[in-house]
Structure 1
Amino acid sequence: MGRRVPAVSRALDILELFLEGDGTLSAPEITRRLQLPRTTVHELVTTLAARSYLVPVVEQPGRYRLGVRTYQLGSRYAEQLDLAAEGQQVARSVAETCGETVHVAVLDGTDVIYIAKVDSTHAVRMVSAAGRRLPAHCTAVGKMLLASLSAEELDARLPDGGELPAMTANSITDVTALRAALTEIAARGVATESQESNADVTCVAAPVRDRSGRVVAALSVSVPMIRWSEARQRELTELARQGAGRLSERLGHHGVG
């Protein structure tokens, strides 16, 4: 590792301040918050503004906001993101923490497609596999993704009166019952399925968001019923939330919900 350049670090510290609050700051506020010399802040802000990383706020003289160059850099970063690769890394981290199987999946019509999977350290028979497609309503990831759709999108995919295919005796096959479950999932912000896609397994899933806040995937932790309990459910629910949150951050999401 080479030596860090103090001036570059200070410039980045300034830019990162704009991620907080209303996104506008004055030079005196930057000076106070970073405890830097006034002349140093003035020179750095002037340089950043000259390079379009900061721009003056016209209606608020003396204040600055992030400039177009930061947007261009963020857009280029987003273009290079690979959801499957990022998901695999986060799934591996979650699996190492809990020792259970972790999935990341996306919604395609009324099915989910698994784009990342890390197996449990225990021998567990799973119906899922990376690249495999399963009915969304039978899985925790799928129910989480369906619950994140708008009413119009959900109506288009799940018209009333239809019957849903079953994977096990516990699968939800009634659209009205599924809609009620999805409403509850949307309110909780986490989904579970108990022996609905695999008679021996239960899962918990949380939503993954992109930089715009849109739900683009879901991350789940799956565990055999022999290791399932209320305490384990609480533990894995929190791990799923944390993992989904980390993956969301990798996709550029920094908001709440």
Structure 2
Amino acid sequence: MAREVPAVSRALNILELFLDVPTLSAPDIAARLRLPRTTVHELLTTLVGRHYLVAVPGQPTRYRLGVRLFQLGGVFAQNLDLIREAQEVADETAAACGETVQVGVLEGDQVLYIARAESTHPVRMVSTVGRLLPAHCTGLGKVLLAGLPPEELDELFPDDRELVTMTANSIASPDRLREEIARTRETGLGHDDAESNDAVHCVAAGVHDHTGALVASMSISVPSPRWDDDVRDRLGDLVRERAGVLSARLGHLV
């Protein structure tokens, strides 16, 4: 079983003291945490050096929270906004089409599902928020991979890599994946033709933030008995439109 690192725990304990008071001195911290003053001074030196704490102007022996925590909090807030908006748009989209809608982000070479809305049909695909799947096996993942620079894609999928397959339809080679990514870039849509689940098809489109960066993708999934070319085209148009709605909520201007 993994164990906690004492020095890291002590540093975090120091930061958490500032949840209750705006400024503290080294003796205050040592007394509250019952730590030796030399240990506290070493930890404070590190935290100040990394900008997690800063000396109070005019009071060099007192400390307050630093800019690095503000930066981390900003990133956390952005992610919360994405998740909240993604769930709302997913719910609206599922209500419009009656099928399962998912939103995912790229984590290395995998897709992390951050929002879902279930189909209203009796036969439906059950998905799970927080699940990770190989990006090359999903429509969501293909859209996200298509947004990577070519050198980053090559680093993730070198020529000699053997790709994990989830069904008989899964892409098994980097060359085949690059062909699929090229089509995805051209059309703006990613498809999963029973590649992650042999009974499910899906179509996905990209979601952009206020900077224009590709930050997520949205998919609509349909069990194979309800899938045909007309459904593929109709839901492709819908997911492109709805991904655009989510992008607009994140501040993206076309």
2: CA distance, partners of 1:221 / 1:80: 22
CA RMSD of aligned residues (A): 1.8
Does the aligned pair in 2 maintain the 1:127–1:198 contact within 8 Å? no
Q: Could you say which residue in structure 1 is the equivalent of 2:87? A: 88
Partner of 1:230: 229
1:184-210 Cα deviation digits (max 9, x unpaired): 110111111110001111000000001
Quote how far apart the aligned CAs of 1:108 are. 0.3
Matched, 1:120 2:95: no
Aligned to 2:216: 217
The equivalent of 2:35 in structure 1 is none
- Pairs within 5 Å for 1:41-80: 79=78
Q: Determine helix, strand or coil for the equivalent of 2:181.
A: helix
Q: Which residue of 1 aligns with 2:107?
A: 108
Which has the higher mean CA deviation after the structures are superposed, 136-145 or 125-134?
A: 125-134
* Cα distance change of structure 1 residues 79 and 205 upon mapping to structure 2, 3 Å threshold: closer
Say if 1:127 and 1:163 are closer, same or farther in 2 by CA, change over 3 A. farther
Q: Please report the TM-score for the alignment, with normalisation by the length of structure 2.
A: 0.68
Structure-1 residue corresponding to 2:177: 178
Q: Report the identity percentage.
A: 51
Equivalenced residues, count: 180
Q: Which amino acid aligns with 2:117?
A: V
State the partner residue of 2:248: 249
How far, CA to CA, are the matches of 1:173 and 1:199 in structure 2? Answer: 15
In structure 1, the partner of 2:129 is 130
Provide TM-score, normalisation by structure 1.
0.67
Unaligned regions of 5+ residues in structure 2, if any?
1-73
> Per-residue CA shift, 1:104-130, capped at 9, x if unaligned?
000000000000000100234536310
After TM superposition, the runs of 4+ consecutive aligned structure 1 residues lying more than 2 A away are: 78-81, 123-128
Q: Deviations over 1:32-84 (max 9, x none)?
A: xxxxxxxxxxxxxxxxxxxxxxxxxxxxxxxxxxxxxxxxxxx9xx8586111
Amino acid at match of 2:167: T
Aligned pair in 2 of structure 1 residues 170, 211: CA closer, same or farther (>3 Å)? Answer: same
Q: 1-side partners of 2:79 and 2:116: how far apart?
A: 21
Partner of 2:189: 190
SS of residue in 2 equivalent to 1:211 = coil
Q: Which stretches in structure 1 are left out of the alignment for 5+ residues?
A: 1-74
